[in-house]
Chain A
Amino acid sequence: MATAFPPRSRGGALRRLVDGFDRFRDQHFEHDHELYDTLLDGQRPEVMVIACSDSRTDPAIICGAEPGELFVVRNVAALVPTYEPDHRPRGTSAAIEFGVVALGVRHVIVLGHSFCAGVRCLLEHDHGGRRFDFVSDWVGIASEVRDEMDGLVTEAERPVIARRAEQAAVLASLRHLHTYPFVAERVADGRLSLHGWYFHFGWGLLQAAEGPDGPFRQVDRGMPPAPAMGRAVAEPPA
């Protein structure tokens, strides 16, 4: 999908959305109608992606995914809270349960990105001086990343720290994912693998974590990267 973005039309933002919808009908729907028909009796995505709400990091655009391929959660900073089944409304945990247990996805990808304002909030959060009703608590899910960065004795420049923190937040979310019993069980028996990806959109490059502690290496031609956790599940024949 979306191999070419349309030129930005004049007029209001809503007009652009409606124009965009017309293009979707012409370009995707008319051609992919059979695909939509087969999806009618339910979706069967093999991959779940947890990505940031940021307007610049749509996972379907980055991965060229088609309708039906990706079960997607998007929240501020692509964070995963640890397993706490307390019957309160927990949107990201509910989606993980839905994707892993009900849909039986085989891969979960946590997709972080460069210039993430959510991670910046986490780093700049002035330890107690609360500005937000929700954002401060939410990004606190990855407070271990803030501690890790605070502990760095370094003259490194702020952008360097920010990039490191963004990648560390991906690894923290992977660790948190592994605290869900239904995730850990499936990772252990090979039904599920967990991937940590990082999109550097200033450069248009994708990196993947080699293991639960990194490092991140550029994804390039050739073999798909091994998962950060779990076995590399054999791909079914295309």
Chain B
Amino acid sequence: MGPLLDGYRKFREETWPQQRARFEELAAQGQKPHTMVIACSDSRVDPQMIFSAGPGELFVVRNVANLVPPYMPDAAFHGTSAAVEFAVRVLGVGRIVVMGHALCGGIRALIEGTPDAAADFVAGWIGIAQGARAAALRCDDPVAAQEAAEQEAIRISLANLMTFPWVAEAVASGALRLRGAHFGVATGRLMVLDGATGGFTPA
């Protein structure tokens, strides 16, 4: 905990004096982020850091393996769907980026199976990307299998986003664009999903 509070002190001493006007403006006028990012909870893939974004720019969801479930308005608690709804219908963001990453433990659990000790929720959640397991099984090499599943899971989340009627409408009218990206933790490189080819190319 100590390092975090040292970090907070640094925020007070360095960031806050520089960004004070921005924060005060954001407090007075509310947020108007241009982009929603759906990223993994993984400690190595903070989207704000990767995009060097300032306060107010990115509306962010982080969950295990950056997944989006399909549209299911059944009165259950759907945190990710609620955030997508808030971003699209209230904030009117112009873009949603689903950002996956290399070495994703959630995707590894999808391929290798969830440990028994973590079977209450993790298995049910990553099951959203069940189809990505098949992509992994087509690869012989374990590294390639992991990456194929990570990429396929991004495609699945993007397809699931399109099942939300107000997302599909906003995309059709040109008000909203959906993008997929994959961050290489070891390489520091961002690959972007090419909508035309379905492949990932360097940003």
The yes or no verdict on A and B being binding partners is yes
| Chain A residues within 8 Å of B24, by CB | 202
Which positions in A face B, CB cutoff 8 Å? 1-6, 8, 13-14, 16-21, 23-25, 27-29, 33, 36-37, 39-40, 42-43, 45, 47, 53-56, 58, 60-65, 67-76, 79, 81, 85, 87-99, 101-102, 107, 114-115, 117-118, 132-135, 137-139, 141, 182, 195, 201-202, 204, 206, 219, 221, 224, 235, 238
The reply to whether the CB of B18 lies closer than 8 angstroms to some CB of chain A is yes
Neighbour of B185 across the interface among A36, A201, A204, CB < 8 A: A36
The reply to whether the CB of B173 lies closer than 8 angstroms to some CB of chain A is no
Q: Which residue of A is nearest B24, CB measured?
A: A202
Q: Which residue of A is nearest B18, CB measured?
A: A4
Complex CA–CA separation, A45 to B1 (angstroms) = 11
| Known contacts A28-B49, A63-B7; A5/B55 CB under 8 A | yes
Complex CA–CA separation, A155 to B68 (angstroms) = 42
| Chain B residues within 8 Å of A92, by CB | 63, 79
| Known contacts A101-B117, A102-B115, A138-B78; A39/B44 CB under 8 A | yes
Shortest distance between the CB of A43 and any CB in chain B (Å): 5
B60 touches A5 (CB 8 A): no
Neighbour of B10 across the interface among A3, A24, A76, A182, CB < 8 A: A3
A95 touches B41 (CB 8 A): yes
Neighbour of A75 across the interface among B3, B79, B95, B124, CB < 8 A: B79
A72 touches B30 (CB 8 A): no
| Chain B residues within 8 Å of A1, by CB | 46, 49
Shortest distance between the CB of A119 and any CB in chain B (Å): 12
The reply to whether the CB of B48 lies closer than 8 angstroms to some CB of chain A is yes
The reply to whether the CB of B139 lies closer than 8 angstroms to some CB of chain A is no
| Chain B residues within 8 Å of A134, by CB | 73, 78, 81-82, 84-85
| Chain B residues within 8 Å of A20, by CB | 50-53
Q: Interface centre among A55, A97, A224, by most B CB within 10 Å?
A: A55
Q: Which residue of A is nearest B13, CB measured?
A: A3
**A interface SS class:** mixed
Complex CA–CA separation, A47 to B115 (angstroms) = 21
A2 touches B49 (CB 8 A): yes
A6 touches B54 (CB 8 A): yes
B86 touches A17 (CB 8 A): no
Query: CB within 8 Å of A: which of B33-73?
Result: 33-35, 41-44, 46, 48-64, 67, 69, 71, 73
Q: Which residue of A is nearest B102, CB measured?
A: A40
The reply to whether the CB of B4 lies closer than 8 angstroms to some CB of chain A is yes
B44 touches A73 (CB 8 A): no
B81 touches A63 (CB 8 A): no
Pairs across A and B, CB under 8 Å, 7 listed: A2-B15, A18-B203, A65-B46, A75-B82, A90-B79, A141-B77, A195-B1
Complex CA–CA separation, A53 to B87 (angstroms) = 9
Neighbour of B6 across the interface among A64, A70, A114, CB < 8 A: A64
B89 touches A132 (CB 8 A): yes
Neighbour of A63 across the interface among B8, B22, B58, B122, CB < 8 A: B8
Complex CA–CA separation, A123 to B118 (angstroms) = 34
| Known contacts A24-B49, A75-B82, A135-B86; A36/B118 CB under 8 A | no
A61 touches B15 (CB 8 A): yes
| Chain B residues within 8 Å of A70, by CB | 43, 46
Complex CA–CA separation, A60 to B15 (angstroms) = 12
A4 touches B78 (CB 8 A): no
A89 touches B56 (CB 8 A): no
| Known contacts A61-B11, A137-B77; A97/B122 CB under 8 A | yes
Per-residue contact bits, chain B 98-128, to A (CB 8 Å; 1 contact, 0 not): 0000010110000000010110111111111
Shortest distance between the CB of B192 and any CB in chain A (Å): 9
| Chain A residues within 8 Å of B1, by CB | 47, 107, 195, 224, 235
Complex CA–CA separation, A230 to B122 (angstroms) = 25
